[in-house]
Structure 1
Amino acid sequence: MITRRLALGSGAAALALPAAAQPAPAWRARFPELTFASIPAENSAGVTERFGPFVEYMSRTLGVPVRLRIANDYAAVVEGQRAGNIHVAQYGPSAFARALMTGAPIEAFAIEVNRDGTKGYHSVFYVRRDSAFQAIQDLRGRNLGLVDPNSTSGNNVPRFALHGMGIVPEQFFARVVYTGSHENAVIALQQGTVDVAANWWNDEQESNLARMARRNMARVEDFRVIFRSEQIVNSPTAMLSTLPDELKAAIRTAYLELPQREPALFQRMTDGQQQPWQPVTNAAYQPIIELNRFVDGLRRQRS
């Protein structure tokens, strides 16, 4: 029998006793590998560059491999979580709302926070600076660039705003082009494929265009904003609600503590333009569900 005295012993003896090994969490047997995905707000190389080190961090922290899935479009992330093939995903607000509306068993647990502490962003319409266009009304018969049917700032908010102006896009513009990503929308405008393009914008310092400029993909000074929406709730990260509670807690802790544990990694992921993520719940996105329903109604009216 080991007595308290023998267990504590002198300093040297005590140090010689090995610490008891912690048993592996039970969830690891059911989930030996996890998958993370993000909506394609930028090209696949950009997604890999931004999230590659992140999934390595999550793998180290959780103790199982976390794989990065590069989605072709927003719907692929929604369908992947609805099917249970994507365990954690970073969404845009409308894509997340769409996932909830279509029955995906998911729960938001983290929201992006801007440098000034706000939790929202805007949809804008860009035109080329050297164009004569000063307002949306000047673009009748021209080409409109949208991002993806499930993009908040790249489709749903623009359509809501255009409706408020009395504009039916498919009737007012010569063509409505879905470019697939925010980056592609800017490139289409840059190349003259479209004459006006929707995009996301936080403030004068941070936007998709500013990110592209930092990577020498575009120049901010080549474009002008001719419309800016009201603020939209920032993007969430969500996980499957069907995961074991212990695993969900581990994911939540690893994610929310990343900015403190790995500040350089967080700076890289956010281009140094965000404060640490904060907790959030599905309730924050109820207004976006209502926005989706409104845009769905507009679509039904056209058909």
Structure 2
Amino acid sequence: MSITRLPISRRAFGLGAAALALTPVAFAQAQDWRARFPELVYAVVPAENAAGVTERFGPWVAYLSSQLGVRVTLRIASDYAAVIEGMRSGHIHIGDFGPSSYVRAHAVTNGGVEAFASLRQADGSTGYYSVAYARANDRGARLEDFQGRNLCLVDVNSTSGFNVPHFAMHRANIAPDRFFANVQTTGSHENSIIALQRGTCDIAFNWWNSETDSNLMRMGRRGMVNPADFKIVFRSERIPGSPIAFLTSLPPEARALIRQAFFEAPTRNRAAFDRLSDGQSPGFAPATHADYQVIIDLQTFVDRLRRERAQRAS
């Protein structure tokens, strides 16, 4: 796991406009949490290469530092499990999750991790989709056409890259370990597209928001691939939006300021917010744990399915 420490502006050590309006008691409480938490760690799992993540999140964590009055450090995790473990141990305070990895984090911490925000889509809605890509010139047009070929998934804790695909394939009576010649996890959404491009796999699952906003389109804008070289052969029903979550052990004053910084970002620092969202979002929507009940049910199903397959294999 690599850590990128970002420079903090002088504003990081000020109180910010919100603090100026505090009562003397609230002011003392706010200062108390900063003394206890002089640094907050913000963790993300890359859907792109590390340089791309730093470019996207660098201005964002600098903005958070200026609003919270403490250093915010970006941690680029190797996978979702690293973020889950970091939050369980208390070494990570704020995390970007997929729905499934959030549900897992909430479970292993006994509710010690709480969702509070989700990025809105361009039309103001929340949520996204799991899609399966194939090469544009491939003869296959749907999942069922890829029997005996190679499948790429993303990460066992990825919603769009692992859990939703397994649920969709189960509904289509496809047992991946028997239907495909080879099934592999690539570790990231970006890696799956590259594997598909190179011919390592013939079908690859990924996240997709819209025709103009997806991992594939982001890679295309950076010149890594030509989106026209790929086609969608499967798209899921809408998935609840990917949550941002923080530790419930953070003081209430800190959590309130974190929420405020996220929800006011489009007006307080539009440039940093647009860099984070590729200019594809109007802002954040509130999120709660109850929003992810469907993912809890999905996670339970996928875990049971994996246990049954492991038992059959043994």
TM-score, length basis structure 1: 0.91
Runs of at least 4 residues off by over 4 Å: 21-24
Cα deviation per residue 1:104-143 (whole Å; 9 max; x = unaligned)?
5011111111011221111111000011111212211111
Question: What residue in structure 2 maps to residue 14 of structure 1?
Answer: none
Q: Which stretches in structure 1 are left out of the alignment for 5+ residues? A: 1-20
Alpha-carbon separation, structure 1, partners of 2:141 and 2:68: 51
Q: Which stretches in structure 2 are left out of the alignment for 5+ residues? A: 1-23
Question: What residue in structure 2 maps to residue 178 of structure 1?
Answer: 185
- Out of 32, 41, 50, which is 1:26 matched to? 32
Asked if 2 retains the 8 angstrom alpha-carbon contact of 1:40 and 1:74, the reply is no
- Out of 62, 70, 74, which is 2:68 matched to? 62
* DSSP-derived class of the 2:183 partner: strand
- Out of 73, 87, 98, which is 2:93 matched to? 87
Question: For the pair shown, which has the larger CA radius of gyration, 1 or 2?
Answer: 1
User: 1:68 offset after TM fit, Å?
Assistant: 0.5
Determine whether 1:293 maps to 2:272.
no
Alpha-carbon separation, structure 1, partners of 2:160 and 2:141: 20
Q: May I ask how many residue pairs the two structures share in their alignment?
A: 283
Map residues 110-121 of structure 1 onto 2, 5 A cutoff: 110-121=117-128
- Out of 112, 135, 139, which is 2:146 matched to? 139
Cα deviation per residue 1:225-284 (whole Å; 9 max; x = unaligned)?
011100001111110001111111111111211111001111111111112102111110
Determine whether 1:189 maps to 2:216.
no
Alpha-carbon separation, structure 1, partners of 2:121 and 2:186: 26
% identical equivalent positions:
55
Alpha-carbon separation, structure 1, partners of 2:231 and 2:108: 37
Alpha-carbon separation, structure 2, partners of 1:45 and 1:58: 20
* DSSP-derived class of the 2:131 partner: strand
Question: What residue in structure 2 maps to residue 226 of structure 1?
Answer: 233
Cα deviation per residue 1:167-189 (whole Å; 9 max; x = unaligned)?
11011111111011111100000
Alpha-carbon separation, structure 1, partners of 2:38 and 2:109: 25
- Bigger shift: residues 239-248 or 43-52: 43-52
Q: CA RMSD in A?
A: 1.3
Cα deviation per residue 1:17-38 (whole Å; 9 max; x = unaligned)?
xxxx976611111111110001
User: 1:40 offset after TM fit, Å?
Assistant: 2.3
Asked if 1 retains the 8 angstrom alpha-carbon contact of 2:120 and 2:126, the reply is yes
Asked if 1 retains the 8 angstrom alpha-carbon contact of 2:126 and 2:285, the reply is no
Question: What residue in structure 2 maps to residue 278 of structure 1?
Answer: 285
User: 1:41 offset after TM fit, Å?
Assistant: 2.0
Alpha-carbon separation, structure 2, partners of 1:117 and 1:139: 35
* DSSP-derived class of the 2:287 partner: coil
Alpha-carbon separation, structure 2, partners of 1:158 and 1:34: 34
